[in-house]
Amino acid sequence: MNLPQTATGANLQQGLEAPAVLQPVAASLFADRAARFERLADGHASGDWLAFLARLSRIQHELLQSHPAVPLPSEAERIRAREHGMPVLPANGWRRDRVWRQHLAALADGLLPHAPDVLRPVLAGLPAIGEAELERLADGVLRTEYDPAHSARLPFIAAALQVYWAWMAAQPALAGLARLDVPGVCPCCGSLPVASVIQAGQYAGARYLHCSLCSTEWNLVRANCSSCGETDKVSYRVLEAEGGTTRDTVRAEVCDDCHSYLKQVLRDKDASADPVADDLATLALDILVDEAGYLRSGPNPLFIPGGVTESRADG
């Protein structure tokens, strides 16, 4: 097995040996996210929605703990991916196991009793969607081409796919991935990052991009635009504090070269901060940056604009 490629360049600056790629930790990934959603929901203007997402994350956690063994890339496929600098479990093109549809059914089942009225018919209708249609919707989610006619369903499809991809990404066979030549896509699945994370603890200060699908994290030198690689034109936008606890743990990194932005979650300020949960608790920051003319460079598929949850996501 190859040793992880170290983050040269970042090391001098950060004084540590941060691995190039971190696999998701199956035991804690969704449990920590659920706990974070719960904390963020408390006193938040969109608290009901965040609490609902805490339940969703909790079910993702349970599904991940009892996940059946499903096919992984063969050794030959892993070697080929490495040689060609390609993701080993490509979101776009991997032969999906049907298990993700079982995850979707379990999510619908588990969430229905707790769903807000507006989402009940959406969840109740998920099991009736045919396999071919579900696979078509999944293809759209994985390519971030969201079918507006189904936007209310897509976050649940994304949540089910996240469980399946995170299970595969966390397996020992997937250890030791190298970063790709394109810094802005996940070395495991080729998806875009949901946010970047400034780490605390073992790799304190290192910046990692967090995959919006498989939750793999990959190192990128701080102050490099994750979209175009430019370093000179990166700056930060923050929300004015309003007594909230999350405001200083999230900032938007904007690039005046490619006019994109991605949020940065500062675990060195709050070790429990989570790229997915903290992102959805700070949608007001997206509005602010969007109005300033920047386009978000990576998705959070638990929030699909145009879905029935949009009106409640005003925090």
Chain residues binding Zn ion by CB under 5 A are 186, 188-189, 191, 211, 213-214, 216, 225, 227-228, 230, 255, 257-258
Minimal distance, residue 4 CB to Zn ion, in Å: 16
Taking the least distance from each CB to Zn ion, the nearer of 160 and 213 is 213
3-state secondary structure 145-203: CCCHHHCCCHHHHHHHHHHHHHHHHCCHHHCCCCCCCCCCCCCCCCCCEEEEEECCHHH
What is the C-alpha radius of gyration for the chain, rounded to an integer number of angstroms? 19
Taking the least distance from each CB to Zn ion, the nearer of 104 and 188 is 188
Tokens 């904390």 -> residue: 39
Taking the least distance from each CB to Zn ion, the nearer of 119 and 225 is 225
Tokens 């997937």 -> residue: 174
Taking the least distance from each CB to Zn ion, the nearer of 257 and 268 is 257
Minimal distance, residue 230 CB to Zn ion, in Å: 5
Determine phi and psi for 32, rounding to 5 degrees: -65, -40
Minimal distance, residue 224 CB to Zn ion, in Å: 9
Cα→Cα distances 125→9, 57, 106, 154, 169, Å: 51, 20, 13, 13, 30
Minimal distance, residue 256 CB to Zn ion, in Å: 8
Cα→Cα distances 292→225, 252, 304, Å: 17, 12, 21
Minimal distance, residue 24 CB to Zn ion, in Å: 9
Minimal distance, residue 186 CB to Zn ion, in Å: 3
Closest CA to 49 of 58, 38, 60: 38
Taking the least distance from each CB to Zn ion, the nearer of 204 and 258 is 258
Taking the least distance from each CB to Zn ion, the nearer of 86 and 308 is 86
Burial 246-269 (b: 16+ CB within 10 A, else e): bbebbbbbbbeebebbbbbbbbee
Six-digit token pair at 76? Answer: 């030959």
Minimal distance, residue 308 CB to Zn ion, in Å: 27
Yes or no: say if 214 and 168 are a contact pair by the CB < 8 Å rule: yes
Taking the least distance from each CB to Zn ion, the nearer of 110 and 183 is 183
